[in-house]
């Protein structure tokens, strides 16, 4: 097992439902309470180009259109978060993508609502790997972020 010498980075997005419900501060508070550092933060209206690039691996799947439509339905807050094993740690902090199945204590378990088939309305997105984090960070913050 090798020791990680530099902190890892991940991309976190507070989705339109989280922003609409006024949960951005609570999500960011939980990230910082976990010991992670916010190294980039902005509120944006996602463009179709950003969403197409971000969700490129899902293009053609049945949920792609509704997901892009939802993600462009209001502002999102994108955060570049840094810390030891932050990709894995944030995904654990976020909880299951289905809010009803998320454990208490997780962002989705405590704050998520069951919207039936609209699983994409689950407050936050977190990168699923260091490689995805690097790709997604470039989409939302530009090269060199």
Annotated binding site for ATP: 15, 63, 91, 97, 108, 122
From the annotation, which residues make up the binding site?
15, 63, 91, 97, 108, 122
Beta bridge partners of 10: 81
Considering the candidates 54, 58, 84, 125, report the single residue annotated as catalytic: 125
On the CB side of 61, CA atoms within 13 Å amount to 11
Cα(61)–Cα(117) distance, integer angstroms: 15
125 has catalytic annotation: yes
Give, in degrees to the nearest 5, the angle at Cα 21 between 102 and 70: 75
CA distances in angstroms from 96 to 40, 65, 108, listed in the order given:
25, 22, 7
Q: Which tokens belong to 60?
A: 């053609």
Catalytic annotation, residues: 125
């Amino acid at each position: 097992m090798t020791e990680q010498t530099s902190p890892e980075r991940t991309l976190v997005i507070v989705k339109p439902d989280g922003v609409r419900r006024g949960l951005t501060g609570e999500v960011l508070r939980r990230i910082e309470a976990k010991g992670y550092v916010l190294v980039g933060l902005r509120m944006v209206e996602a463009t179709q180009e950003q969403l197409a690039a971000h969700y490129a691996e899902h293009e053609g799947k049945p949920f792609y259109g509704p997901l892009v439509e939802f993600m462009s339905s209001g502002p999102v807050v994108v955060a570049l978060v840094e810390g030891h094993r932050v990709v894995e740690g944030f995904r654990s902090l976020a909880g299951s993508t289905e809010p009803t199945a998320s454990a208490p204590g997780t962002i989705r378990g405590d704050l998520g609502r069951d919207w039936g088939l609209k699983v994409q309305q689950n407050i936050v997105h977190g990168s699923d790997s260091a490689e995805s984090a690097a790709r997604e960070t470039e989409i939302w913050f530009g090269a060199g972020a």
